[in-house]
Structures are given as C-alpha cells and as structure tokens.
Amino acid sequence: MKKKRQPIHVLFASAEIAPWVKTGGLGDVAAALPPALAQAGCKVRVLVPRYPAMAEAFPNAREFVRIPGLAVRLPESRVLDAGEIAPGVTLWLLDCPSRFERAGNPYVDSDGKEWHDNVWRFGLLSRIASWLAENGKDTGWPVDVLHCNDWHTALAPAYQHYLGGDTPSVVTVHNLAFHGQFPESAIGDLGLPRRGFRFDGIEFHGKLSFLKAGLQLCDRITTVSPTYAAEIQTTDYGCGLDGLLRYRKARLQGILNGIDENQWNPATDPLIEACYDADSLDKKAANTVALRRELGLDPGTSPLLGVVSRMGHQKGSDLLVEEGDALVAMGAQVVVLGSGEKPLEAAFEAFATRHPGRVSVTVGYNERLAHRIEAGADIFLMPSRFEPCGLNQMYSLRYGTPPIVRRTGGLADTVVDATAETLKDGSATGFAFDYASGEALLACVRRALDLHRDPLHWRQLQRAGMQRHFGWELAARQYLALYESLLPAAR
C-alpha cells in the first residue's frame, strides 16, 4: 500500500499582506498564493510584522513563541498566532513594538522618506523567519521550506547559510529594482559574521544588500513571470544583479502570478454598478455611465480610458502625463487612480484641471473605485517600462476591458496583441507596443480606438480576454513541485 504523502510545511515570510497592509502586488500575492498552496496540499504559516493595522485586525492573536534578542539590534520579540485566515493557512504576527508599532506606510514615513531603522526592522523579520525555520521541532511546527519575498525577508537565507541552518529556502523577486542596501557597518549588529561580506556573500558594491544576499545564498530563486525571469538576466533589466542571476540561472524559475478570480469577477462583484459576464456584455455600459456620473465626467459615448497605478517612472506614468492632452484630443476621456512620486501626482492633477469633464484624477488608493474603473472603462492603460508580472492587466481582461500594455515582463506573458492575424484566429485580447515612448503609446492607443469603432471585432476581443483564466491553481502546482524538489528525499 502506497504511503500517504505528508503535507509540506511552508513558512511564507512577507512584509505585507492584503487587505490589511498593502503597497503593491506583494500584498496581493501574500494574500492569495498561500491559500492556493494549501489547496495544493501544503500547510502554510504566513509571517508578517504586527503593524498597527494588523494589531487592530487581529486583537485576539495569542503568543505562539517568545524569542530572545538575537543580536545587538534585534531585540526580544514574540510571534503571535492570529488563527486561520484561509483553510490550511495560519497567520503569524511578528510582535516587536519598537520596530513595527508606528503609523503609516511599512517602509516610509509621512514625508516619503525611508524609516531610519529599516535595516533593523527587516533584519529582524528575516532573522525571525530563519529562527522559526530552524527551531520548528521546539515550537511544535517544523518547517520544510522557508519562502521569502523581496528584499524585506531576503536576508533570511544568509542567516541560514552563516549560522548553520539547513531548511531549504526560496526567494521570490517581485521587483528587482529594490535591493535593500545598507552600510557595511550594520553587519555585526545584525548578528551576521563579517566573513560573509564578500562578493559571493552579502556584499554588493561595498554595501550590505538584503536582496543580493538572498539571491546568492538561497536554494531556489523564483520571479513572478517567465518573461521577467529572462529579462532580469540582461543588463537592461538586471539592476546590477544580472551577472549573479545568469550565474544562478539553473536555479531561477519564472512562475506567473495569478489573481483572485472570486474577488475580481464582474459576474458577482458587489462593488460595481451592474454585474455582467461574457454573455451579457451589454450590461457593462451601465458601469461606464455610473463611473462618469460618480467622477463628474461628461456623459456621452467617448471611449473611456482607465488607469489604476502607482505613479512612477517604472509604470510609465510620465508617458501618460506627457501625452495626456493628445489622448483627450483623440476624443477619449481619461480616469486615473493612483499615488506615488509627488511631481507626478501634481502633474496628473494639473492634467485634470486642464480638461474638466474629460479627465478625472484621484490621488490615493480606493479599492471600490479600482473595481469600478475596471468595470466602467472601455480600455485600460498600462505602459510600464518594466513590469515583473502586473495584476491590473489580468483584472482588465477579466472585466472585458481590453488593456494597452508595453510588451515587457508579465504584460508580455498575459496580453495578446490585436493584429490582423490574432483577430482572425481569435487569440487577440488587447494591445501591445514595444518602445517606452509617448509616440509608441499614442500609436497603440490609435489602433485601439480604431478597433473600438468596430463593434463586432471589439466584442470578440472582450470575450477572448474574459475567457482567459488567471487563477492561482497553476502557480500553486508549480510552487509545490519546486518545494518537493527541495525536500531531503528529492535531494
């Protein structure tokens, strides 16, 4: 009789988790991937700092283990058990008030400046993740795989390597542009040996780099789309780490992120004006009318272009600002939701001021409005210079709102450009362009507006996108296979 396989115990360490603490895609992944892993057969503990928002959301979390100070700057802390947040997924909160009990963004203060002690804050998160992985027998929850995410937890594999841990580790890169770099002088106070400050250790151009340390010393590297996995091995996208990633390419894998198809489902979405599906797309128009009314846009039949994005150079926000007047001159209306770099926020607000009734800009983030833009816009704009995966283009496809994207990273993996050939074979789902320029963006928008005037082909394009599935099941199976390859029997 075949022995039943025991579930793999995964400690999933993250600096944020939606909906409680979220600044970008990492929060969404931390909320959605662990439940999918549990459905695939894993037992998962998600470790997140106990920020004020987490303390408020889980006031009854109980102490799971108390951990003494592990280094000069890593004080005594506790891990609290907040209970199950999904079947097979338990939330653990790292409680250290001196490091995490502060208002606002997890990474920056109210002026947008990085917290002065981020090196100690996320050094502690990484160290505790490593400690939990190595002391599972004592705590009662042995860890089979330690899964770290971005630079905030990427120092954990360094602790494993230099302090004698043997739990296999995975580092997922959600955005290679953020390294977590700090002065060399921090090493001793983090409890790491100085012998690790080498090119093949934790050193990066004379500084300590959390992300470089993780990429150098973990057992496997993943990133959030196959195309991005290839791109980051090039000088254009490698952010100075392309040489290391080429060196470790045999241990690098691109696994496309998914989306929560229950939360983002136009057929059942409680946040939109009128629910619809691929067979009732006529109802989508009611969402456009409601969105215009809500945001003070002129009524009419002009194509409505939607943007939900962090305002930054990476996202191509400057291209949208530069060409905004031209978009309006084409006859389009534009609705923007997002925040980010202050000059870009001001430029978008000025754009709206110049075009009352044609342009709406909301600075900040509003989950309800994000859903209503996905449902109410005719076309979604996402001209990112680079995009590791991207989620909004998948939301847009699901909502029958064909996206315009730059052909990079996960955008290239998820959107099929509408050409004569792809329209003929029915595979087209949106529009893509290659060069990060205003001219290329406008040319792509013109193509989209031309097709929008062809109701038959436009409806075909909408339905093709809505029929694509981007749930987490496939990604979870790929992660499960990766975990299995790291277990002692596989080794």
**Closest alpha carbon to 13 in 98, 100, 92, 84:** 92
Amino acid at 266: P
- Tokens 């494993």 locate to 160
As a residue count, the chain comes to: 491
Task: Say how many CA atoms lie within 13 Å of 463 toward its Cβ.
Answer: 13
Asked whether 309 and 392 are in contact (CB, 8 A), the reply is yes
Binding region for ADP-alpha-D-glucose: 22
User: Among all chains, which residue has been given the structure tokens 């909502």?
Assistant: 399
21 DSSP 8-state letter? B
Q: Concatenated DSSP letters for 123-187?
A: HHHHHHHHHHHHSHHHHT---SEEEEEHHHHTTHHHHHHHTT--S-EEEEES-TT---EE-TTHH
Which residues belong to the annotated binding site? 22
* CA–CA separation, 416 and 265 (whole Å): 21
Which residue, chain included where needed, has tokens 């002391």?
Answer: 135
What are the tokens at 145? 């795989």
Cα 317 from Cα 321, distance rounded (Å):
6
Please give the radius of gyration of the chain, using alpha carbons only, rounded to the nearest integer.
Answer: 23
Contact 178, 310 (CB under 8 A): no
Four-CA torsion 180, 185, 187, 188, nearest 10 degrees: -150
